[in-house]
């Protein structure tokens, strides 16, 4: 028995709000852009993949930019502010996990480590650095950092991705504490295994989708729209008392101690 997937209902009215999403051209970021567009928001997507961005639905504005470059982050923030007057929600979502990074740490190539730190960690800080002054001026805003189940637990062959995702949790705590009295909330979301291009690239090596799905107590992998739904809620007034913390959206994966369970799922 599995739980139902989302129905695509529009639960929030974000008319008049402006959201900037990094890595919004594909996968989870794209689902976030689409959900926010449906909820009435002005949506700006920053990404390095202009081909994928060309497939975004009408109404989502695209600004080319590499989150590891400070000028690009400054430019994306300026673009959103010039187009829409402000930024109410920033989603730090762009991250990479190249196949070549699945090695033990003693085989980790220095250039790959540097690139993953630059995109998955520094990129989050750079976009926040340039967005927070806008949010401070209006004394409100929400920043959502996309972390991962791998921020909380680890596995073999993720010597960069896992530790850097754990650092995303601490960015969330640190900025959340820093700006709490200025109306700015900072939260992170830690997805389990979600059906996106990033994951589809490695599912085969992890035993295929059925095998990976079976490791989740809910018996399936997640859909990008289910992460978008969490972001909608966490960025809403309903979540006004939630800051400097993380929400795992993982079908029960993180709570399940496979080693201790005598009953096969
Ligand atoms: N899919 C999962 O199962 C899963 C699980 C846990 C966490 N996450 C996290 O969710 C986020 C999104 O993952 P996804 O699976 O949708 O990834 P994806 O690879 O499918 O999409 C990532 C998007 O980010 C863009 N991007 C990459 N580098 C960029 C850069 N330097 N600047 C701007 N854009 C850039 C890509 O072009 C792409 O559009 C990531 O932070 C990832 O670590 C994903």
Per-residue model confidence as pLDDT tens digits over 106-146: 999 999 999 999 999 999 999 999 999 999 999 999 999 99
Q: Residue 108 burial by CB count (10 A; 0-12/13-18/19+): exposed, middle or buried?
A: middle
User: Does ligand 1 lie within 6 Å of residue 126's CB atom?
Assistant: no
> Is residue 205 included in any domain, yes or no?
no
Q: How many angstroms does the Cα of residue 134 sit away from the middle of ligand 1?
A: 25
> Is residue 96 included in any domain, yes or no?
yes
71 phi-psi bin (left φ>0, alpha ψ -120 to 50, beta other): alpha
Instruction: Please report how many Cα atoms fall inside a 13 Å half-sphere around the Cα of residue 29, on the Cβ side.
Output: 30
> Is residue 217 included in any domain, yes or no?
no
Instruction: Please report how many Cα atoms fall inside a 13 Å half-sphere around the Cα of residue 151, on the Cβ side.
Output: 26
β-sheet bridge partners, residue 62: 45
In this predicted model, what pLDDT tens digit does every residue of 31-69 receive, in sequence order?
999 999 999 999 999 999 999 999 999 999 999 999 999
User: Which pTM does this prediction carry?
Assistant: 0.96
Position 6 scores a pLDDT of 61
Residue nearest atom 43 in ligand 1 by C-alpha distance: 95
Domain count within the chain: 1
User: Does ligand 1 lie within 6 Å of residue 222's CB atom?
Assistant: no
User: Does ligand 1 lie within 6 Å of residue 199's CB atom?
Assistant: yes
> Is residue 103 included in any domain, yes or no?
yes
> Is residue 145 included in any domain, yes or no?
yes
Q: What is the extent of the structural domain holding 147?
A: 18-193+226-252
> Is residue 204 included in any domain, yes or no?
no
> Band of the pLDDT at 265, cuts 50, 70, 90?
confident
> Is residue 165 included in any domain, yes or no?
yes
> Is residue 232 included in any domain, yes or no?
yes
Domain at 88, CATH number: 3.40.50.720
């Amino acid at each position: 028995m599995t739980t139902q997937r989302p129905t695509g209902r529009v639960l929030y009215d974000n008319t008049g709000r402006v959201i900037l999403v990094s890595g919004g051209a594909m996968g989870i970021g794209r689902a976030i852009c689409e959900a926010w567009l449906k909820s009435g928001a002005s949506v700006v997507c920053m990404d390095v993949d202009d081909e994928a961005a060309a497939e975004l639905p009408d109404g989502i504005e695209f600004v080319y930019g590499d989150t590891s470059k400070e000028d690009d982050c400054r430019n994306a923030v300026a673009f959103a502010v010039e187009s829409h007057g402000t930024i109410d929600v920033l989603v730090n979502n762009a991250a990479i996990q190249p196949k070549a990074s699945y090695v033990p740490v003693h085989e980790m190539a220095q250039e790959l480590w540097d690139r993953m730190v630059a995109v998955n960690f520094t990129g989050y800080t750079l976009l926040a650095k340039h967005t927070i002054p806008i949010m401070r001026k209006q004394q409100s805003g929400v920043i959502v950092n996309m972390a991962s189940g791998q921020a909380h637990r680890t596995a073999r062959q993720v010597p960069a991705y896992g530790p850097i995702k754990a650092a995303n949790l601490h960015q969330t705590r640190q900025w959340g504490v820093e700006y709490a009295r200025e109306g700015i909330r900072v939260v992170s979301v830690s997805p389990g295994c979600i059906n996106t291009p990033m994951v589809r690239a490695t599912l085969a090596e992890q035993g295929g989708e059925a095998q990976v799905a079976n490791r989740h107590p809910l018996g399936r992998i997640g859909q990008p729209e289910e992460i978008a739904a969490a972001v909608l809620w966490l960025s809403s007034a309903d979540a006004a008392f939630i800051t400097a913390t993380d929400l795992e959206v993982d079908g029960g994966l993180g709570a399940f101690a496979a080693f201790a369970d005598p009953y096969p799922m």
